[in-house]
Structure 1
Amino acid sequence: MALCGLLTLGSLAGYGSTVQAATVQQQFQDTHTSYAKDAITHLVAKGIAAGTSETTFEPKKAVTRAEFATFAVRLLGLKPVKNNINPYQDISMNAWYYGNVAAMTNLFILEGKGQGTFQPNASITREEAAALLVRMLKQQPVETSLLSSTYFDAADISDWARPYVQTVYQLGLMRGSGGVFRPHDQVTREEAAVMLDAILQKKTWSEQLQRGDELGVQLGWQYNSTTTEFKKQVEQSEVNTLVPRWFFLNSSMKVTDHADPALISWASATERQLWPLLGNRSDSAITHQMLSSSANRATVISQVAAYVKTYKLDGINVDFENVDPADREGLTAFVTSLTATLHALGAVVSVDVSPDLGTDWTDAFDYAKLGAVSDYMVLMGYEEHWNGDPKAGSVASLPWVEKALDTMLSEVVRAKTILALPLYTRDWSSVNPATSSWDITLSEQGTRAHTTGSVRRWDASLVQYIIGYNSNGMPRYIWAEDSRSLSAKVLMSEQRQIAGLAYWYMGGETADVWNAISNASRFESYNF
């Protein structure tokens, strides 16, 4: 029976998961003489390991790669992630361990065995376990000359594994016995228990694993959904800040009002922030009319302030796109006055901006000044290749998003920076990218990826899949956004300690995305 099959888990926040009392008190008949008896008892009590039956643990049995992945997910306090796009050809998405293997793959802790395979039922070797432990603890593997003097069989250790073996030795997690490491021997269940329990026995590490999640701002835009649909989307996500598209400029300088009292009440009852969008519908003429006149700016600000006061809003999200470069000073003046006015009402101002790529599309946005006066700057980290682009490509490759964020952070403080991630991608024509390509949701992307005859490959340089399929005899391509690619972007953003994340748009995602994002945020927060 599978290791995870017998274990009933409660909350997965931290390793101290709640398990059924019978499981905690479980006494195995075959562990009394095992050197790992105490470690086994501890791990079972913590909900990290389980027996192979109600009365047996089989301590001498080899651990499979899938089983070790499951142990690792539980110890790290993470959630299984059933990636909508399967990383491996030899794992069924219905396998009991699929979510655990995918979760470890998303965080770059576990690797496949080449050619898109994982070999889940293969036994994990001691040198493979060493690498896994080092990655779990976010340690930098460094090889020294100590191996040859530490182990008689140092020459048997694979070249790639030598830094990992050295590191786990220094960490005290794996020492070998009798002067040998036995790098290619299978790891037994009792050996795995001792390794993992050693992590819990170190106070500084165990304290990290018991930390609560600290996601910061998690902003979600409503788009093409009813209030009922939007509420359901938010409930299934990590989002704590709602941005419905309620307020828009028009030529009469009257701000249109589409506020929904039902969403206002729900946000308040569920203690979520409400920052409705103030938009310009990408109309540069109307935007210029407003920004170029101090009187018009004041008129709009007065209306927005009245809405904030009437509806008791927590903030406003300013989303002006296609702004004329000539309106740079006017935009800064508008945001400056709006922020001062809303601060008096206890509300905040966030401003959406595109990546600064040196084009006139962003010339109207003075990153430094807007960042200084507003509460948050939301970097829309997508449209690397846009709808109508004559060249097909990624909507948001990791290198491009990373460069865009670092450019922002050179002018805006981290505590005010929010990175917006795409919950959509684009289906590209290989013949006419500019005219025969369109946006698709991640669910639609998955349908195409699972189509008979479709092919995909992982592009390590872009950190995402490229999917190819045929439609009406013509090849089409998708640079995929999924749990794996989004995890990489979250890890990158968390390393920069920014204020939070945003998502365009709610409803575009597949369900697995939220566990992946939560895992990446939690794992990156650990400071072992």
Structure 2
Amino acid sequence: MGNPTAEAAAQQVFQDTTSSYAKDAIAHLVKAGIAAGTSENTFEPKKAVTRAEFATFAVRLLGLKPVKNNINPYNDVSMNAWYYGNVAAMTNLSILEGKSQGVFQPNASITREEAAALLVRMLKQSSKSTNLLSSTYKDAAEISDWARPYVQTVYQLGLMRGSDGRFRPHNQVTREEAAVMLDAILQKKTWSDQLKSEDQLGIQLGWQYNASTAEFKKQIEQSEANTLVPRWFFLNSSMKVTDLTDTSLLSWASATDRQVWPLLGNRSNPDLTHQMLSSSANRAAVISQVTSFVKTYKLDGINVDFENVLPADREGMTAFITSLTTALHALGAVVSVDVSPDLGTDWTDAFDYAQLGAVSDYMVLMGYEEHWNGDPQAGSVASLPWVKKALDTMLAEVVRSKTILALPLYTRDWSSVNPAASSWDITLAEQGTRARASGSVRRWDASLVQYVIGYNSNGTPRYIWAEDSRSLSAKVMMSGERNIAGLAYWYMGGETADVWNAISNASRFESYIF
């Protein structure tokens, strides 16, 4: 099956669809660029539709992008296959999954009951009870237990009805049947209007790290980021704020309609931070300098990144952010504050989430370091249950419209023998190289919603809890359900290229209200 453009497809005339009951649906889907023929002149309407083909139809109908996951979800799908990006895109969103761990069977045909489940997931419908099936279909007893709610739901939606009082659950779906089902979705205006909607990604904040201005610009261009955080301003012992501003980045950001919120950092120095926060005069001196920078460089905002702050500085921290926000609002600039998840430890005692959330414009929750560098116990940097709990804890004190969730574009390579001392951060590209290395194994952990990769190095077992397009998609959808202000990424350049299409898809699919 090819992948012609919508323009070419619109001119296709198939010799074998003139007598098909699905003739109009096929023409409609081909013109829309959703379906394509098996050759220039044939559609083969009676041929069974494969799992790979259905994934491709679904991606196009939902207005999504193919995602060439850097970590292949399946052992029986080639990353070079024409359908790989579509199968991965559907897997990332949990619409279409494998037959078993690592097995997709791309060329297997889809049964009618499998198609029912796919349509329900595509339309984000909750599957109904099954009390009507026995009175609807003579062959209701033949429908698999897992499929019964889906079959009832598609019947009630009017997408699949069967014939002669039978559903035929185990029959293969033909290409013409698939066309009729999918076209029925487009014929419902409330659904098709959703599919035509513009992407609304909200704030997409990207931090610069270990990258020159030229490298950072390239990273931003290849991403979804619309808000740049270069590392320009840092406290020092004389209460002078270092100014590393690169005006060429400001000009470029302005020309490309992106915001710049430079970072104001403390380099994780608790004593220096205490010296500043505990003195009203020192706070005022720093605010005066930052305000001057915002005015001089016409900055859109400031991102305050104070880490390792002493619990004793809680009031000083709130006072500092309150005064800084007042000063910057007078210039039309915003203040965002980076905070770690509140786990009830003294690491976050200095941050009064409710007060900081009330006075600042945005709170950026750093949704990573569940297991940190030096942790004696190996584990995930950001498992979905942990990130979800951290975000919900934050949302109990900070309004959604001010909350930004930061996601990791890095992970950690752990020693099984000495996690605390012999483990290190790696980029997602390095992670993928290890995942593909000879002898490495991986399994999808559905409870953590990420892959666990195992491999040997010099005889020592090592483990990686992977962050990739699939795990990040789940976090993006979770955050979308909570309707927060946006997402942030630590750090730009740590990702693989496929991540951005995955994030865009997850945000788009989550926004649909069918």
TM range (shorter): over 0.9
Correspondent of 1:178 among 153, 156, 164: 164
Alpha-carbon distance in 2 for matches of 1:150, 1:449: 49
Alpha-carbon distance in 2 for matches of 1:145, 1:378: 47
- Residue 124 of structure 1 corresponds to 110
1:44-443 matched pairs, under 5 angstroms: 44-443=30-429
CA positional deviation for 1:142: 1.6
Normalised by the size of structure 1, how large is the TM-score?
0.97
Alpha-carbon distance in 2 for matches of 1:90, 1:25: 35
- Residue 513 of structure 2 corresponds to 527
- Residue 13 of structure 1 corresponds to none
Unaligned runs of 5+ in 2: none
1:38-66 CA deviation, whole Å, 9 max, x = no partner? 10111011110011111111111110000
CA positional deviation for 1:509: 0.2
1:307-337 CA deviation, whole Å, 9 max, x = no partner? 0011110000000000000000000000000
Correspondent of 2:502 among 499, 512, 516: 516
The DSSP-based 3-state class of the residue aligned with 1:306 is helix
**Counterpart amino acid of residue 388 in structure 1:** G
2:4 equivalent to 1:7? yes
The DSSP-based 3-state class of the residue aligned with 2:347 is coil
Alpha-carbon distance in 1 for matches of 2:38, 2:449: 37
2:451 equivalent to 1:459? no
1:483-522 matched pairs, under 5 angstroms: 483-522=469-508
**Contact 2:128 2:150 (C-alpha < 8 Å) held by counterparts:** yes
**Counterpart amino acid of residue 241 in structure 1:** T
**Contact 1:6 1:53 (C-alpha < 8 Å) held by counterparts:** no
The list of structure 1 runs, each at least 4 consecutive aligned residues, that deviate by more than 6 angstroms after superposition, is none
1:340-369 CA deviation, whole Å, 9 max, x = no partner? 000000100000000000000000000000
CA positional deviation for 1:115: 3.4
CA positional deviation for 1:431: 0.6
1:124-147 CA deviation, whole Å, 9 max, x = no partner? 110000000000000000223110
Correspondent of 2:10 among 24, 33, 48: 24
Alpha-carbon distance in 2 for matches of 1:527, 1:458: 29
**Counterpart amino acid of residue 293 in structure 2:** Y
**Counterpart amino acid of residue 107 in structure 2:** N
CA positional deviation for 1:25: 2.4
- Residue 482 of structure 1 corresponds to 468
CA positional deviation for 1:414: 0.1
Alpha-carbon distance in 2 for matches of 1:117, 1:469: 21
**Contact 1:6 1:52 (C-alpha < 8 Å) held by counterparts:** no
CA positional deviation for 1:261: 1.0
**Contact 1:442 1:509 (C-alpha < 8 Å) held by counterparts:** yes
**Counterpart amino acid of residue 336 in structure 1:** T
The DSSP-based 3-state class of the residue aligned with 1:140 is coil
**Counterpart amino acid of residue 503 in structure 2:** I
CA positional deviation for 1:111: 1.3
Alpha-carbon distance in 1 for matches of 2:365, 2:77: 37
**Contact 1:64 1:121 (C-alpha < 8 Å) held by counterparts:** yes
Normalised by the size of structure 2, how large is the TM-score?
0.99
CA positional deviation for 1:6: 3.9
2:31 equivalent to 1:34? no
Alpha-carbon distance in 1 for matches of 2:418, 2:24: 65
Unaligned runs of 5+ in 1: 9-18
Alpha-carbon distance in 2 for matches of 1:87, 1:209: 26
2:29 equivalent to 1:43? yes
Alpha-carbon distance in 2 for matches of 1:110, 1:144: 22
The DSSP-based 3-state class of the residue aligned with 1:184 is coil
Moved more, 107-116 or 276-285: 107-116
**Counterpart amino acid of residue 428 in structure 1:** W
1:450-500 CA deviation, whole Å, 9 max, x = no partner? 110000111111000100000111110000000000000001000000000
The DSSP-based 3-state class of the residue aligned with 1:204 is helix
**Contact 2:101 2:443 (C-alpha < 8 Å) held by counterparts:** no
Alpha-carbon distance in 2 for matches of 1:23, 1:480: 39
**Counterpart amino acid of residue 38 in structure 2:** T
CA positional deviation for 1:398: 0.3
Identity %: 85
**Contact 1:424 1:504 (C-alpha < 8 Å) held by counterparts:** yes
Alpha-carbon distance in 1 for matches of 2:9, 2:451: 41
The DSSP-based 3-state class of the residue aligned with 2:21 is coil
Alpha-carbon distance in 2 for matches of 1:305, 1:228: 26
Alpha-carbon distance in 2 for matches of 1:244, 1:476: 34
Alpha-carbon distance in 2 for matches of 1:51, 1:466: 39
**Contact 2:101 2:444 (C-alpha < 8 Å) held by counterparts:** no
**Contact 1:395 1:425 (C-alpha < 8 Å) held by counterparts:** yes
1:352-398 CA deviation, whole Å, 9 max, x = no partner? 00000000000000000000000000000000000000000000000
Q: Give the alignment's Cα RMSD to 1 decimal.
A: 0.6
**Counterpart amino acid of residue 385 in structure 2:** P
**Contact 2:410 2:467 (C-alpha < 8 Å) held by counterparts:** yes
